[in-house]
């Protein structure tokens, strides 16, 4: 007997349909799986046999052949356990196969027949809906994640016997209520007003949030760089529904638990010992890395020079293109990586250059060597280099006027983003402007041209750095509500290029 069950898998962050064909034939009891299965799929035979028997069914003492089609695409994971088990039972005519032909099935089986959650359910649900199936049978623990896809009936089951009862018409699942899309507005989290002083750095972070610009903060230990970075999400607009779906697809493929579809932007902060594969993605079956998990949000790299240089160099493509392509022998996958980079570093190896109360013991050569751990091409892709000086004891202890909170700054950021959206369309930001957009929307007056010419000649800036100064100036103008780029906007943008100055002048 031959039975066919529709299932699904994930390649990159997109789902695709897999036909699970189960054939029972006379012969010695052998269970073989073909169709490029990985180790987890090959091991499913032991889980399936035990789950079928422990659920009260007899497992056929015959030759069992399972084919996963298309056979030329690598299959990985445990989501094929349930469709294989149902294929075996369908071939044994334990339930009508007509209903099985109209649904797609995914799920991992425990040895007692219980269903365990699997990864990648959101892109799988989108693919199942696109292919026109009547329903998706899946583990109950994954139901909230799949319910985000409107118009797709779900059959959340907790046990193999539940799915068999559903296919026999003897069991009706409880309806799944789709989680509401609930962007936090304003988002929850630490507030800007918690940080004392640092008005220049706060202004730079406001500019970075308004235009989606990458930013590097340079300052001694304890100056507040990490505190400032963790408050940036509170300045950003909530995700749109489309952005939230794309972001959650990536998290779903990575196996991160999902509940309600939230509008909060991701904030990722990997340790400096991270590998290049963990940062940009990869593996024999490519999986998204930290740059993709931070898509639409913030990637915070603290102690930037402590990262291996070859790890930092792989950031060039995602910073420039907003995506990263991972190529392996079997396949090539492109993951979204439209994040804003926020980085922090000390000004020198000892950390105290420019400190008001502690003396730096580093030589200019040591400082230069320390900073060259970050390559010029990478620095070119960071729009703002901002000094975060240490505060004096008097500044920390004195009663200062209440600092501006995140809500007030966020209102200006949202207004600036609305101007960018009206000018560029959609959710585009100034940091993502192309060369044509820069020429169109960043026209300079005579005073601004002379200022930039002198800066470029003195600092030897690259063409990319020149363009990024213009983009930052455009964002500053948007925050000021100005349709034109003025000299003061360009001058402020130039002031955010601390690392373009010689070592003796910087910080």
Chain segment 338-397, per-residue pLDDT in tens: 999 999 999 999 988 878 788 889 998 998 889 888 988 898 899 999 999 887 766 666
How far apart are the C-alpha atoms of 384 and 485, rounded to whole Å?
A: 18
Q: What is the pLDDT of residue 177?
A: 79
Which residues are paired to 139 by β-bridges? Answer: 157
Strands 267-268, 108-109: pairing kind: unpaired
pLDDT in tens, 3-39: 999 999 998 899 999 999 999 998 889 999 999 899 9
d(CA 335, CA 294): 11
CA distance 81 to 303: 44
DSSP H or E stretch at residue 157: strand 154-157
pLDDT at 505: 43
Instruction: Give the orientation angle of helix 463-480 with respect to helix 446-459, to 10 degrees.
Output: 140
* CATH architecture under which domain 2-168 falls: 2-Layer Sandwich (3.30)
Those residues whose C-beta lies under 8 Å from the C-beta of residue 312, and which sit 6 or more positions away, are 304, 374, 375, 378
User: In a 3-state reduction of DSSP, which class is residue 499?
Assistant: helix
Percent of the chain with pLDDT over 90: 56
**Number of C-beta neighbours around residue 96 at 10 A:** 12
pLDDT of 236 strictly over 70? yes
Domain positions in the chain are: 2-168, 192-427
What is the structure's pLDDT at 506? 42
For the chain, the residue count is 507
What is the rounded average pLDDT of the residues 102-107?
96
Rounded to an integer, the average pLDDT of 231-243 is 89
pLDDT tens figures, 127-151: 999 999 999 999 999 998 898 888 8
At 413-465, the pLDDT tens digits run: 999 999 999 998 877 899 999 888 888 898 888 888 888 888 888 877 778 88
Query: Same topology for domains 2-168 and 192-427, yes or no?
Result: no
State yes or no: pLDDT of 230 exceeds 90: yes
Q: Label the pairing between strands 267-268 and 298-301.
A: parallel
User: In the 8-state DSSP scheme, what is residue 233?
Assistant: G
H helical segments located in 274-333: 276-280, 290-293, 309-313, 316-321
Chain center to CA of 415: 25
Provide φ and ψ at 276, rounded to 5°. Answer: -65, -35
pLDDT at 400: 62
Name residue 179's beta-bridge partners.
Answer: none
The DSSP symbol for 325 reads E
Whole-angstrom distance, CA of residue 507 vs CA of residue 503 = 8
* Cβ atoms 461, 500 nearer than 8 A: yes
Please report which confidence band the pLDDT of residue 405 belongs to, taking 50, 70 and 90 as the band edges.
Answer: confident
pLDDT value at residue 462: 79
Please give the sequence-ordered ranges of beta strands (E in DSSP) within 314-390, or none if there are none.
323-327, 332-336, 340-345, 384-387
| Eight-state DSSP code of residue 18 | E
Choose the CATH number for 192-427 among 3.30.1600.10, 3.40.1440.60, 3.40.630.30, 3.40.50.300. 3.40.50.300
Q: Measured between alpha carbons, how far apart are the two ends of the chain, in Å? A: 76
pLDDT at 386: 92
């Amino acid at each position: 007997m031959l039975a066919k069950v529709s299932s699904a898998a994930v390649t990159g962050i997109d789902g695709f349909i897999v036909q699970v064909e189960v054939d029972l034939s006379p012969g010695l009891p052998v269970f073989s799986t073909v169709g490029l299965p990985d180790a987890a799929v090959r091991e499913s035979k032991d889980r399936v046999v035990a789950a079928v028997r422990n659920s009260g069914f007899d497992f056929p003492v015959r030759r069992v052949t399972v084919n996963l089609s298309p056979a030329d695409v690598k299959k990985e994971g445990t989501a094929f356990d349930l469709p294989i088990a149902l294929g075996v039972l369908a071939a044994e005519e334990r339930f009508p196969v007509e209903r099985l032909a109209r649904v797609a099935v995914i799920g991992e089986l425990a040895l007692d027949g219980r269903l365990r959650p699997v990864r990648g359910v959101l892109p799988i649900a989108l693919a199942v809906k696109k292919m026109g199936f009547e329903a998706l049978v899946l583990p109950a623990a994954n139901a909230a994640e799949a319910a985000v896809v409107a118009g797709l009936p779900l059959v959340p089951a907790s046990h193999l016997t539940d799915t068999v009862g559903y296919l026999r018409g003897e069991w009706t699942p409880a309806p799944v209520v789709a989680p509401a899309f609930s962007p936090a507005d304003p988002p929850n989290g630490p507030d800007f007003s918690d940080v004392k002083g640092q008005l220049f750095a706060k202004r730079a972070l406001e500019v970075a949030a308004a235009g989606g610009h990458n930013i590097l903060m340079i300052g001694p230990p304890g100056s507040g760089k990490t505190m400032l970075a963790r408050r940036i999400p509170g300045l950003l607009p909530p995700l749109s529904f489309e952005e939230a779906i794309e972001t959650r697809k990536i998290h779903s493929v990575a196996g991160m638990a999902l509940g309600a579809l939230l509008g909060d932007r991701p904030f990722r902060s990997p340790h400096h010992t991270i590998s290049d594969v963990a940062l940009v993605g990869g593996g024999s079956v490519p999986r998204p890395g930290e740059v993709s998990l931070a898509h639409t949000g913030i990637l915070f790299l603290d102690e930037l020079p402590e990262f291996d240089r070859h790890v930092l160099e792989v950031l060039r493509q995602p910073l420039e293109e907003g995506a990263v392509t991972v190529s392996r022998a079997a396949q090539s996958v492109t993951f979204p990586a439209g994040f804003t980079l926020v980085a922090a570093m000390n000004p020198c190896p000892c950390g105290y250059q420019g400190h008001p109360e502690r003396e730096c013991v580093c030589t200019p050569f040591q400082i230069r060597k320390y900073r060259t751990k970050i390559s010029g091409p990478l620095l070119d892709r960071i729009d703002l280099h901002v000094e975060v000086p240490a505060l004096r004891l008097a500044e920390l202890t004195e009663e200062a006027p209440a600092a501006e909170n995140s809500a007030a700054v966020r209102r200006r950021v949202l207004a600036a983003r609305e101007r960018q959206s009206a000018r560029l369309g959609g959710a585009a930001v100034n940091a993502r402007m192309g060369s044509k957009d820069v020429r169109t929307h960043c026209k300079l007056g005579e005073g601004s041209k002379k200022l930039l010419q002198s800066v470029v000649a003195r600092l030897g800036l690259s063409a990319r750095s020149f363009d990024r100064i213009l983009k930052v100036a455009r964002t500053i103008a948007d925050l000021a509500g100005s349709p034109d780029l003025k000299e003061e906007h360009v001058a402020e943008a130039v002031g955010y290029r601390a690392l373009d100055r010689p070592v003796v002048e910087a910080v």
